[in-house]
Amino acid sequence: MKFILDASVYISFYSPTESRHETAKKLWSLCPEREAFHVPQIFTLEVLSAFARRQVDLESISEQESFINTGPKFTLHPLNPQIMATASTIIKSARLRSADALYLALTHELQGTLLTLDNELIHSLSRKDSRFEFNGLIVDPIKA
Amino acid sequence: MIASLSEVKSKLSEFIRISKSKGEVIVITVDSVPTAELKAINNVDRQLTDAEVVMVKSFVEGFRSKLSKQEPFSAVELIQEGRR
């Protein structure tokens, strides 16, 4: 099983004062400790941007960048034509933001499981007007 | 990762190791123009070693302690804000 990690879980996992920190820890622990999370390349920028807007110091942000980009816990997936085409189909089917669609596209392509705290994302593909046949799973944190 | 042809020629083993361990695609430039890619095969399911597991835990604990005194917030809202 491949686990795709949404940036919201990552930020919350590191932040004891975040409102769903304990849930994020639970979601993180679903991935065996010897396995890497799979993320779209945009993940690094989202994390850095979120920490920067939280006024985290620049040295720590650079540590995060290095940990994600060159450490063993993350496999970054480039936005190749296949991922982009799937994301495009998802956007048209479920009317999502581009970054949300990239996470779902990667999950679909890897036939993996998406870990996210974002309710909008969790329920996006089960909306009545969504016509995309999703080839992955999304963990509902309430049931995790 | 982007590297020139001369860099790749001189450090080929290192670039292969990076690509294999991280699943990273190395874009090779010739005269500063992206020309070719170097990527490992079937590398996405590699298991972390004992040392790597310890390193990850240590990094997480260290970074979490840095953020332990922040004001309460919502990560979902923070990320959604960045995606708008």
The candidate with the shortest Cα–Cα distance to A125, out of A74, A87, A84, is A87
Asked whether the beta carbons of residue A120 and residue B80 sit closer than 8 angstroms, the reply is yes
Query: Which residues of A are less than 8 Å from B18 in CB distance?
Result: 70
pLDDT at A106 exceeding the cut of 80: yes
Number of other residues whose CB lies within 10 A of the CB of residue B30: 11
Query: Which residues of B are less than 8 Å from A17 in CB distance?
Result: 67-73
Residue A32 makes CB contacts below 8 A (sequence gap 6+) with none
Predicted TM-score (pTM) of this structure: 0.81
Distance of CA A130 to the CA centre of its chain: 20
Residue with the larger pLDDT of the pair B22 and A41: A41
Q: Residue A45 and residue A76: Cα distance in Å, rounded?
A: 12
Residue B2 confidence (pLDDT)? 93
Residue A92, by phi and psi: left (phi above 0), alpha (psi -120 to 50) or beta? Answer: alpha
What is the ipTM score, two decimals? 0.88
Q: Residue A27 and residue A7: Cα distance in Å, rounded?
A: 12
